[in-house]
Amino acid sequence: MTGCPFSGRAPEASEPATGPASTQAPLDPAGGERPTAGARLSRRGLFGIAGLGGAAAGLAAGFLGHDAVAASAAPPAADSPVVPFHGDHQAGITTPAQDRLHMAAFDVTTTKREELIQLLKDWTRAAEALTEGRPAGATGAVDGPYGAPPEDTGEALDLNAGKLTLTFGFGAGLFEKDGVPRFGLDGRRPEALIDLPHFPGDDLDPARSGGDLVVQACADDPQVAVHAIRNLARIGFGKVRVRWSQLGFGRTSSTTRAQQTPRNLFGFKDGTNNLKVEDDQLLDQHVWATAGRPEDAWLAGGSYLVARRIRMHIETWDRTSLGEQEGLIGRTKGTGAPLSGGEEFTEPDFTRQGKGGKPLIPLDSHMRMAHPSQNSGVRMLRRGYNYTDGSDGVGHLDAGLFFIAFVTDPRSHYVPMQMAMAKGDTLAVEYLKHTGSGLFAVPGGVKPGGFIGDGLFA
């Protein structure tokens, strides 16, 4: 597509900053780097070039879509801030977990199938642009008609793509409400898309639970993730309404062995024994959904996303001794090694005993209860984030972990483990409270020219 105004990814992706010192990236207070002058070419500059190429304001959305397809054809360079949107699987599952999250669930308010399909097409075109660091819409934030609201909200104009991934999922409510099928999807609700049972200790807020559609936006810059959700919500005006949304600020998992294991708000390494992109056979077994019935073919390459907002009683935790903390988790706080000995990645030895014949890894420890050996061999790909949402009005931070896991089937890979933990994991029983919940079927990846979940509507 040489010569095509939108061809290739945003120019900043592989270009080092070459401008004068004043244009070099100052440090972002969040620890990342602010975009370079080159990066600034991205959303605004790229669009300007498109205008010069004869595709000025009023450029047909169809052309933009075509071009986005072409733009995605060339894989980005290794140091690129772009994570490809198209593929066999949606990005945002096994792609390296970024530092920031904005997840939003939507209720679909339109009752018309064509409007839902159009929304999914519009979201796809916008996702193709946003994940490449381009603005939403044909005319972006500042190049549209002066007398109309801009198509993009503009707060990401000077930022690069920030490794943005957008992952879309369908909740049970998309298929039926109160037993009545919706959008002509009779009989299409996958059997594994269950209504999650009530778990002991659950204190779920309906306003933080459920949703017909979900969008997980992950990026290395919070403004990029928030911008993406905001613009998708804006595109959906009149068809969908935000039901809940959640910000997350520090990943609590690694999804590749190249990443360092991060820490959760209990101060422990989290994600040590997570499934990772390198475990391809295990991913087939435990993460990718199997399209059991012919009508579930749209789930091939997809997964199920479990989201749980888990409040952590951090004030109580902070008054708990180090020894007790380690016993509750089953690992050391410093290195993350199992209490049976070794290093972070040493396999735990659950038979090893200490003083008085007591197991070194306590029977009620979180790690033991979550280990595949205690759960019929099941594993999951965790992709959660820390969160703090202000305070609770009685002197405590409302802080915790926004748990996200991708599993092949929640009936075998989530419910039994959660049930066992809710009953017997002392960490879960005494220090955690689940306040929000969602389960979504995640369609396979979008092919160039296709749209999110297109197989479901074929």
Ligand X SMILES: C=CC1=C(C)c2cc3[nH]c(cc4nc(cc5[nH]c(cc1n2)c(C)c5CCC(=O)O)C(CCC(=O)O)=C4C)c(C)c3C=C
Residues in contact with ligand X by the rule CB under 6 A: 264, 266, 268-274, 308, 310, 312, 329, 331, 366-367, 370-372, 380, 400-401, 403, 417-418, 421, 432
Write down the least CB distance from residue 199 to ligand X, Å.
Answer: 9
d(C-alpha 36, C-alpha 19), whole Å: 9
| 303, 214 contact by CB (below 8 A) | no
Q: How far is CA 124 from CA 62, 214, 345, 378, in A?
A: 12, 14, 39, 33
Helix, strand, coil % in the chain, rounded to nearest 5:
30, 20, 50
When the beta carbons of 39 and 367 are compared against ligand X, the nearer one is: 367
Helix or strand (DSSP H, E) at 437:
strand 432-442
When the beta carbons of 94 and 273 are compared against ligand X, the nearer one is: 273
Write down the least CB distance from residue 418 to ligand X, Å.
Answer: 4
Write down the least CB distance from residue 355 to ligand X, Å.
Answer: 23
Amino acid found at 219: A
In terms of Cα–Cα distance, which of 251, 219, 254 is closest to 94?
Answer: 254
When the beta carbons of 373 and 391 are compared against ligand X, the nearer one is: 373
d(C-alpha 204, C-alpha 62), whole Å: 42
Write down the least CB distance from residue 330 to ligand X, Å.
Answer: 7
| 86, 448 contact by CB (below 8 A) | yes
When the beta carbons of 236 and 271 are compared against ligand X, the nearer one is: 271
d(C-alpha 32, C-alpha 52), whole Å: 33
DSSP-derived 3-state class of residue 373: helix
When the beta carbons of 123 and 268 are compared against ligand X, the nearer one is: 268
Write down the least CB distance from residue 425 to ligand X, Å.
Answer: 8
Question: Looking only at Cα atoms, what is the longest distance across the chain?
Answer: 80
Write down the least CB distance from residue 377 to ligand X, Å.
Answer: 11
When the beta carbons of 9 and 379 are compared against ligand X, the nearer one is: 379
How is 36-62 classified by DSSP, letter by letter? Answer: PHHHHIIIIIHHHHHHHTT--TT--HH
Write down the least CB distance from residue 145 to ligand X, Å.
Answer: 48
When the beta carbons of 234 and 333 are compared against ligand X, the nearer one is: 333
Angle between helices 222-235 and 113-130 (to 10 degrees): 150
Q: How far is CA 218 from CA 11, 102, 164, 242, in A?
A: 22, 6, 6, 18
d(C-alpha 452, C-alpha 456), whole Å: 9
Write down the least CB distance from residue 368 to ligand X, Å.
Answer: 8
When the beta carbons of 174 and 367 are compared against ligand X, the nearer one is: 367
